[in-house]
Amino acid sequence: MSVSTPFYYYDLTLLENTLAAMQAAINNPNFKVHYAIKANAEDRILQTIKKQGLGADCVSGNEIKKALEIGFEPNDIVLAGIGKSDEELDLAISQGIHSINCESIEELEVINEIAAKHDAVANIAFRINPNVDAQTHHKITTGLNENKFGIPITELDAAVDEILTHKNLALKGIHFHIGSQILNLNPFANLCQQANHVIANLKARGIVLEHINVGGGLGINYTDPESQLVPNFVEYFRVFEKFLNLEDGQTVHFELGRSIVGQCGSLISKVLYVKKGVNSNFAILDAGMTDLMRPALYNAFHKIDNISKEGELEPYHVVGPICESSDTFGKTDLPKTSRGDYLKIRSAGAYGQVLSSNYNLRDRAAAVYSDEVSLEEYISNNERIEELEAV
């Protein structure tokens, strides 16, 4: 098998092991996980996840279409997003999805009008901004008052008053999402306290919800992925078991993405040049920010391995070929690196391929799966091909 670099390599065995560990960590039959499609929307990834019985968390109409195409049942699909178009809402309502996470009072009237056209009742979950600090990067924090997401908790009563005036809407749940790449579990405990407050207030108004959606956000180990290829799902779910006060029959929905797929994907790239610099040498790759945007977007760290070499480490500034100063994967130590070496950029299964672009009219990186060829076999085959071509 020959695929030109850069390409994404997915370890399907690790993905299956991660899903199995997640399922084993759930002791409550009322806990339901919806996979956040925005993390990775590759068909084979989605098919593997669907087989494990997860639902789908969608943030666009096309993600709903993709979920349906893969085989997710409409009742296992939820739609979120602060700026849903009329077309996306029309699709969600016409397909009879589980619920729409409503992010503003203004949105309720629009959803009601579209539901009325279908002579339907749309199931609504209020996305509430709980003003909980996720203690993560400010660009992936979503649950503070300063963020654009959700209905402020102070406006909940007004939102309830509004929805009760619309005959084509039914309040079925509440929804939260405080941020991503959360490693300290304390913010989730704080979220539970806020959720308990909301649940009690609604119950006092005679409203008992069917489900509580606590979002996602569980992080992964980018610094030393080998030490923790599978996140600690047991402790994560235990927080909600311990701190969330539920009424009989209420279900809890989770929207996990990164923690499921993050470690199973790597970006494989080839070194084009090693350029001597003032403070460190530049390893210039054929992969760039068009293939993996996270370092440019968030200054995110990804561990990088030279899978062609071993030996004493030297400092390198690993960069891409794009004409942007932000096109860098960061500084790291590698064995003495040369043109033609293969580098493996780890923990790229989430928000990697799905964020790629064809800026500079570059080709998008392909996907290669572990059941098609092992990475070692791929590298060996390509090196033999290159040797023959050189002759």
**How do residues 197-255 score in pLDDT, each as one tens digit?**
999 999 999 999 999 999 999 999 999 999 999 999 999 999 999 999 998 889 999 99
Residue 279 has pLDDT above 90, yes or no: no
**CA-CA distance, 166 to 13, in Å (whole number)?**
48
Question: Could you tell me the pLDDT band of residue 85, with boundaries at 50, 70 and 90?
Answer: very high
pTM across the whole model:
0.92
Share of the chain above pLDDT 70, in %: 92
The pLDDT score that the predictor gives to residue 143 is: 38
The pLDDT score that the predictor gives to residue 256 is: 98
**How do residues 303-317 score in pLDDT, each as one tens digit?**
999 999 999 999 999
Instruction: Kindly list the structural domains of the chain, giving each domain's residue range(s) and its CATH number in brackets, ordered by start.
Output: 80-256 (3.20.20.10), 263-390 (2.40.37.10)
* Phi (first) and psi of residue 270, to 5 degrees: -110, 145
Mean pLDDT of all residues in 191-198: 92
Mean pLDDT of all residues in 69-82: 97
**CA-CA distance, 56 to 77, in Å (whole number)?**
5
**How do residues 108-143 score in pLDDT, each as one tens digit?**
999 999 999 999 999 999 999 875 544 444 443 443
Question: Could you tell me the pLDDT band of residue 387, with boundaries at 50, 70 and 90?
Answer: low
In contact, 179 and 141? CB cutoff 8 Å: yes
**How do residues 151-173 score in pLDDT, each as one tens digit?**
888 889 999 999 999 999 999 99
**CA-CA distance, 130 to 26, in Å (whole number)?**
25
In contact, 178 and 213? CB cutoff 8 Å: no
The pLDDT score that the predictor gives to residue 102 is: 94
**CA-CA distance, 40 to 145, in Å (whole number)?**
28
Residue 80 has pLDDT above 60, yes or no: yes
Highest mean pLDDT (candidates 46-50, 139-143, 183-187, 379-383):
46-50
Mean pLDDT of all residues in 290-308: 96
Mean of the per-residue pLDDT values of the chain: 92
Cis, bond preceding 29 (omega within 30 deg of 0): no
**CA-CA distance, 186 to 197, in Å (whole number)?**
17
Nearest to 322 by CA among 272, 379, 382: 272
Question: Could you tell me the pLDDT band of residue 389, with boundaries at 50, 70 and 90?
Answer: low
The pLDDT score that the predictor gives to residue 245 is: 94
Q: 224: Cβ–Cβ under 8 A, 6 or more apart, which residues?
A: 303
For residue 185, count CB atoms less than 10 angstroms from its CB and return exposed for 0-12, middle for 13-18, buried for 19 or more.
Answer: middle
Mean pLDDT of all residues in 44-51: 98
> Is the torsion defined by CA of 306, 311, 317, 321 positive or negative?
negative
Nearest to 362 by CA among 303, 306, 292, 273: 292
